[in-house]
Amino acid sequence: MGQKRVLLLCGDYMEDYETMIPFQALQAYGVAADAVCPGKKAGDVCRTAVHQMSVYQTYTEVLGHSFQLNATFDEVEAKSYDGLILPGGRAPEYLAHDANVVKLVSEFAKSGKVIASTCHGQLILAAADIVKGRKCTAFPAVGPALIAAGAHWVEPENLSATLVDGNLITAATYYGYPEFIRHIVKALGGNISGSNKRILFLCGDFMEDYEVAVPFHSLQALGCIVEAVCPNKKAGDSCPTAIHDFEGDQTYSEKPGHDFALNATYDNVDASSYDALVIPGGRAPEYLALNESVVALVKHFMEKKKPVASICHGQQILAAADVLKGKKCTAYPAVKLNVVLAGATWLEPDPIYRCFTDGNLVTGAAWPGHPEFISQLMVLLGICVSF
């Protein structure tokens, strides 16, 4: 059987998480994913938006990562793909008025192929006239348009709500992405095995936004129990994140990212109860590496030879824990000094998405490498997605 292929329909100011999480998660599982935008070609970028709820009556918005397209809209055909994904954000407001977009979505619907849409993406479904009589949910503000288009509107009980009606998968927001992505895998004929694993994420303030959210949701979507903790914080608290992007400067730029909600309490962690540890990058590792309890936690996982996956600046913590001697690893290039001084053999991340496994240790240089990073961790954990 050939490799499964999905198409992401993108636009400027689509929601950041709602694009990158399914894009990289599905690639990590072995699905080919193409991202296109009308009027743009492969190699061009779309601006994204960080949307999240706060103290206001609606969501807030700040500028997100720049998302690079890997295919050209004018060259794609529905018949070449097994499924279509529509991220939310503000892009669907104008994409719904594009006749070529509506035609493409209609072709997927007529062929009975899987269509998975989030948040405001359902505006495009309404414009394509494919929701009549179909059960679907969305961000609540999209409800009136779906009702007017003849949908059987299902009010989301919370922002994690997802719904399946035949080949149509809808979600209220990215909060429901573990279930949303799991539904996509199932609809594509995928089977997940070996997923009964417990994984700990070591978080901190201003960790990189993608580097915590993408693997966190991807592993949850596989059925793993994933717990995120931060020193001096408890379950229900959040960590602010940083968006580190590559925008033509001599080093990465930084913008504020999503607030990432912790779902476990650091002081209650029993390291022996977890099968693996994940260390996101960003700026958090600079100060976490100075925390003795963090160092002891990392040493436990390495001494017990449990899988440890660390990306970008996360390797600063590995260096501080003195667990890199004799290991081969990579990191963000600026962290090379820490890695070499800690006694590791440096592996050049060329290109930047290269990831490496040495024994129980998976290392990556930056978030463009998430598909390799997650898939290599899956191998160590014995998790498999087969189609």
Active site positions, annotated: 119-120, 312-313
**Cβ neighbours, 10 Å, residue 143:** 18
Q: Tokens 């022996």 map to which residue?
A: 272
**DSSP-derived 3-state class of residue 141:** helix
**Cβ neighbours, 10 Å, residue 142:** 25
Q: Which tokens in the block code for residue 146? A: 């779906």
Instruction: Report d(CA 277, CA 152) in Å as an integer.
Output: 43
CA distances from 67 to 16, 210, 213 (A): 8, 12, 16
Which sign, positive or negative, has the C-alpha torsion 186, 192, 197, 201?
negative
With a CB cutoff of 8 Å and minimum separation 6, the contacts of 224 are 195, 196, 197, 198, 199, 381, 383
Chain centroid to Cα 97, Å, comes to: 28
Inter-residue contact 309 to 360 (CB < 8 Å)? no
**DSSP-derived 3-state class of residue 276:** strand
Q: List phi, psi (to 5°) of 349.
A: -80, 80
Q: List phi, psi (to 5°) of 296.
A: -65, -40
Instruction: Report d(CA 254, CA 245) in Å as an integer.
Output: 7
